[in-house]
Chains A and B, each alone.
Chain A
Amino acid sequence: MRELICICCPLGCHITVDDSDLNNLKVTGNSCLRGDKYAREEVTCPKRTVTSICKVAGGEIPVVPCKTKDTVEKGLIFDVLKEISKVTLKAPVHIGDVVIKNVLNTGVDVVATKNIDIKR
């Protein structure tokens, strides 16, 4: 039995996963399908969206926020952050611009989440 608090949305449902049989997980306490998916993943292979900042050259501010476009394995968070810290983008930057394509072969892109103009 694993007690989880769902992180899919701010409701924070208290979910119970019966993991006595890993091939047949029983999820209760969730109020939506996303919660069911989260609970199954959290028990088998926990994943997170990583948000951080990336350096920008010549921009109105020195950094642009970015995120992994999908979730990546929890264990990879700090490796992803390290990859992001190696990049310097050139202004202007637009929301959705790819910061790193297919980061660490996860199949997930890191993208910019803010528009940054050129420094006036």
Chain B
Amino acid sequence: MLHHRLVIIGGGPAGLAAAHGAYEEGERDILILEREEHLGGILNQCIHNGFGLHTFKEELTGPEYASRFIDLVKKDNIPYKLNTTVIDVNKDKIITAVNQEDGLLLIKADAIILACGCRERPRGAINIAGARCAGIYSAGTAQKLVNIDGLKVGKEVVILGSGDIGLIMARRMTFEGAKVKAVCELMPYSSGLNRNIVQCLNDFDIPLYFSHTVIKINGKDRVESVVVAKVDEKLNPILDTAFEIKCDTLLLSVGLLPENELARTCGVELSRVTNGAIVDESMMTSMDGIFECGNVLHVHDLVDYVSEESTNAGKSAVRYLNKSISSRDQVLEVKTSNGVRYSVPQLIKKDTDYTPIQFKMRVSNVFKNVEVALFVDGEKVAKKIKQIVTPGEMETLLVKEDIVKKIKSGQNVELTLVKRG
């Protein structure tokens, strides 16, 4: 059996940043396991720009952003195995992986960072009625076919879901000569970033139908049309409003699911809200020495935040290996209320020595003119004023040493929204 002090599962943005973070903290025995043929993960197919404004203070495309971190990892001489799929992680931190060169690999790790990212929700998860013909893709699959394999996906396109990948693909398909006839969004708001609605839809006069969904797919060998209907407040389709749109392609951009099969099998406690692990401020899960970061922990909308969080996870894993991490015997639960759906981290260790601590959260609806506020035992200890918060954009609250002190001496920690004015 092989042995490594730190094994990182996933060589995308999270895994790369975690590896570099661990290296910077002094660790030299690191191994990255990556399922695909290249490092960089999903960034390799995200050829649009807008990445890295926070991290590098310049606007990069996905592959360029990835290459910055790949270069760091290569400069650090951190070993990695490509085309290697991890099939099991057990309680003793023994990893079972397979690839064509080594066959079956058993690796004992002293610490593990799960950086496995997300999968797209497929058609089956949203139960659209109708034909099972060709021409129905998840938006990310279409993105790979167009941007990496250089293939054409379709000529007349309808997109269901206004998540960022769907919006980006609306523009991408337009650039490839396709006609995007509509983007339909079940909710009365978009789950994508504002800027993507402006520069991917409005720029090209692509109509966006809020509170609409696809209720039927027609076609035999290939999609011929879809039927779209408005939905009521309970999100049920109003059949009188149904109309047909001729198209040969339907792209689904209906959400991402953290890929937590490995975490689940080794007993990591998962959150029902984020579908990722429940972690403390060091990004450690309920399993001693197993950390999680990036989109497997919770879905991010900015890769910059993934890099930051994962660097923290990498450094924390080294502190764990060097036994210089505070104990998790006593933890405070970070409660959320009044429109805040979740917080990451969900837990703060009573004797934490982490400062500052960044809380990341998502809200459940669109709220205007609010404070994102942190209360400890009923006292408001930190706040951030926002003109608008939306479910599509992650909110953050950074608290410094004096406030961390208050949290540690408190009993009841709560993140909430407070209406202003």
Tell me which residues across on chain A come within 8 A of B150, comparing CB atoms. 53, 55, 61-63
A49 is an interface residue with CB less than 8 A from chain B: yes
The answer to whether A49 and B59 have CB atoms under 8 Å apart is yes
CB proximity to B under 8 Å, residues A46-68: 48-49, 51-53, 55, 61-63, 65, 67
Alpha-carbon separation in the docked complex, A74 to B195 (Å)? 15
Collect the chain B residues with CB atoms within 8 Å of residue A10's CB.
50, 53, 193-195, 301-302, 393
Complex Cα gap A62–B147 (Å) = 9
Number of interface residues of A (CB under 8 A): 27
Q: Would A48 and B146 count as touching, CB distance under 8 A?
A: no
Instruction: Choose from B44, B146, B149, B198 the contact partner of A7 (Cβ within 8 Å).
Output: B198
Task: Give min CB distance, A39 to chain B, whole Å.
Answer: 12
A9 interface residue (CB < 8 Å to B) = yes
- Sorting the interface of chain B by its residue count into under 10, 10 to 19, 20 to 34 or 35 or more gives 20 to 34
Cα A115 to Cα B388 in complex, Å, equals: 39
* Residues of chain A lying within 8 A (CB to CB) of residue B409: none
Across the interface, name the chain A residue whose C-beta is closest to B146.
Answer: A53
In the complex, chain B residues 163-196 whose Cβ is within 8 Å of any chain A Cβ = 175, 193-195
Query: Does B264 belong to the interface (CB within 8 Å)?
Result: no
Query: What does the 1/0 interface line of A1-22 toward B look like (CB < 8 Å)?
Result: 0001111111010100000000
Residues of B close to A55: CB separation below 8 A: 150
A52 to B194, CA, bound (A): 21
Chain B residues contacting A118 (CB-CB under 8 Å) are none
Using a CB–CB distance below 8 Å, which chain A residues touch chain B? 4-10, 12, 14, 48-49, 51-53, 55, 61-63, 65, 67, 74, 77, 81, 95, 113-115
Q: Which 7 A-B pairs have the closest CB atoms?
A: A12-B194, A65-B47, A63-B150, A114-B63, A62-B150, A7-B195, A113-B61
Q: Which residues of B contact A (CB under 8 A)?
A: 44, 47-50, 53, 59-61, 63-64, 67, 146-150, 175, 193-195, 197-199, 203, 301-302, 387-388, 393
Query: 11 other contacts beyond A63-B149, A65-B47, A113-B61, with CB at 8 A cut-off?
Result: A4-B198, A5-B194, A5-B195, A10-B53, A10-B194, A14-B387, A53-B150, A77-B175, A81-B175, A95-B64, A113-B63
